[in-house]
Amino acid sequence: MSNDIAGYSYGDREIGHSSLSEEELEDLKVGARFTEEDVRYLRMAGEVLQGQTTEIVHLWRSEIIAHIPHLAKHSRSLDGGSLPDYLARSNRRFEQWILDTCLRPYDRTWLDYQHEIGLRHTAPKKNQVDHVSSTSHIPFRDVLSFIPVINETMKPFLGRKGHTQDEVECMHRAWSKSMLIQMAIWTEAYEESQKNKAG
Amino acid sequence: MSNDIAGYSYGDREIGHSSLSEEELEDLKVGARFTEEDVRYLRMAGEVLQGQTTEIVHLWRSEIIAHIPHLAKHSRSLDGGSLPDYLARSNRRFEQWILDTCLRPYDRTWLDYQHEIGLRHTAPKKNQVDHVSSTSHIPFRDVLSFIPVINETMKPFLGRKGHTQDEVECMHRAWSKSMLIQMAIWTEAYEESQKNKAG
């Protein structure tokens, strides 16, 4: 469904490999009380969000991030100029990530690709897949602080296909849990990038 | 209101000092779209949660964390035995943290104390203020993965004082934003603890 997306390497053997074990991934799910019910509501969310991902990513990137200089600079050249191809390519991956969050099983393949996405926000891998010259590293704190915006803006899109308010709440809760599980996975990518810097 | 809480060092000069500037703290608020409206709703939440914090922390610690071994061990001795004094002391601080989240201004003093709390989850400072022998470090991923549970369980408590559903939603959204801002601040504490380990 997605092998025409530049730099989208889901399942590739060449990508990063999370140092987390499957058991540690299960611990993250248990810690977040992420259950089979959440999996079902994410599937529902995936069906709702199909066809809306371009609009969602446009909202995040062009209507919000573009107006927040300390976030916008990470999609720009080092002198602040625009990089439309970089933005277009990473937007396509951002869109696919929404669907992967909802529709993929959270297994070893998914874990490794979330780790790879984390690495692509840090010095070892940022810019490389798109061959661009932009900031070399996005501070993890800036990624974390944007999660509430992702969650807040996601809710209206979840309500657009006629589901009950209760269903929308459940889809939104499952989505929000997944965001923190993914951020938890990224801690390993950021730690790995720190070690690379020190080494 | 709180100087009878053992180990509660809000505003003390001796505690950790966040490497983040006030400007960087403002960036986190901007990134999360944390506004004056959120501040007002957190004040409302503080009034709602006054008198409920013991029950909330009991729910988190005794009814949830206690049943999740990879989280519960951080409040126990290294051989898995209970440490009731440690738990009681840190529970009191946990309760006060709920009120601080709602009622304190998010200024330099608050920033430094959130950093201190972050450090107290890592090797440089865990266990010290309570003079106990427990795990030396809580992986940041396990902290992050528990945030959805904190958010999910908080909501019913916010609805207990007769506010409208819309007000409860707004209080909950402001609370959830604050959680991610605080986790963003903790990234610096965790990075500092990594450097200490390497140094």
Residue B148 has a CB neighbour count (10 Å cut-off) of: 24
Q: Is B186 helix (H, G, I), strand (E, B) or coil?
A: helix
User: Can you give the CATH number for the domain in which A84 is found?
Assistant: 1.10.490.10
Stretch among A109-113, A194-198, B42-46 having the lowest mean pLDDT: A194-198
Q: Is residue A85 part of a domain?
A: yes
Please name the helix (run of DSSP H) or strand (run of DSSP E) that holds residue A188, with its range, or none.
helix A165-198
Alpha carbon separation from A183 to A142, B55, B128, B147 (Å, rounded): 12, 29, 28, 11
Tell the burial category of B104 from Cβ atoms under 10 Å away from its Cβ (0-12, 13-18, 19+).
middle
For A17-44, the pLDDT digits (tens) are 999 999 999 999 999 999 999 999 999 9
Displacement of CA B184 from its chain's centroid (Å): 12
Query: Is B77 strand, coil or helix?
Result: strand
Q: Which of B136, B134, B114, B111 is nearest to B125 (CA)?
A: B136
Question: CA-to-CA distance for A52 and A59, rounded, in angstroms?
Answer: 11
Nearest chain A alpha carbon to B181? A145
Report yes or no on A12 lying in a domain: no
Q: What is the ipTM of this complex?
A: 0.95
- Assess if residue B9 is contained within a domain: no
Q: Is the pTM of this model over 0.90?
A: yes
* Mean pLDDT for the stretch of residues A157-176: 97
When pLDDT is cut at 50, 70 and 90, the band that residue B3 belongs to is low
By CB neighbour count within 10 A (0-12 exposed, 13-18 middle, 19+ buried), where does A97 fall? buried
Residue B92 has pLDDT above 60, yes or no: yes
pLDDT greater than 70 at residue B46: yes
Round to whole Å and give the CA distance between A185 and A84.
Answer: 29
Q: Is the pLDDT of residue B1 over 70?
A: no
Residue B62 sits at the chain A interface (C-beta within 8 Å) = no
Residue A31 lies in a domain: yes
Which structural domain range is residue A53 located in?
A: 22-198
B151 contacts in chain A (CB < 8 Å): 176
Say if residue B165's pLDDT is above 60. yes
C-alpha A190/C-alpha B8 separation (Å) is 30
Averaged over B144-165, what is the pLDDT? Answer: 97
Cβ-Cβ contacts under 8 Å, B166 against chain A: none
- Whether A10 is covered by a domain: the verdict is no
Which among B24, B141, B184 is the nearest to A184, CB-wise? B141
Residue B10 belongs to a domain: no
Q: How far is the CA of A112 from the CAs of A62, A145, A190, B125, B135, in angstroms?
A: 29, 23, 14, 32, 28
Whether residue A88 lies inside any domain: the answer is: yes
Assess if residue A109 is contained within a domain: yes
- Is B165 in CB contact (< 8 Å) with chain A? no
A93-130 per-position pLDDT tens digit? 999 999 999 999 999 999 999 999 999 999 999 999 99
Per the structure, how many domains does chain A have? 1
- Substitution target in B35, B146, B147 with the highest count of A β-carbons within 10 Å is B147
Q: Which residues touch B78 (CB under 8 Å, ≥6 apart)?
A: B133, B134, B135
Helical residues (DSSP H) of chain B, grouped into ranges: 22-31, 36-49, 53-58, 69-72, 84-103, 108-119, 140-158, 165-198
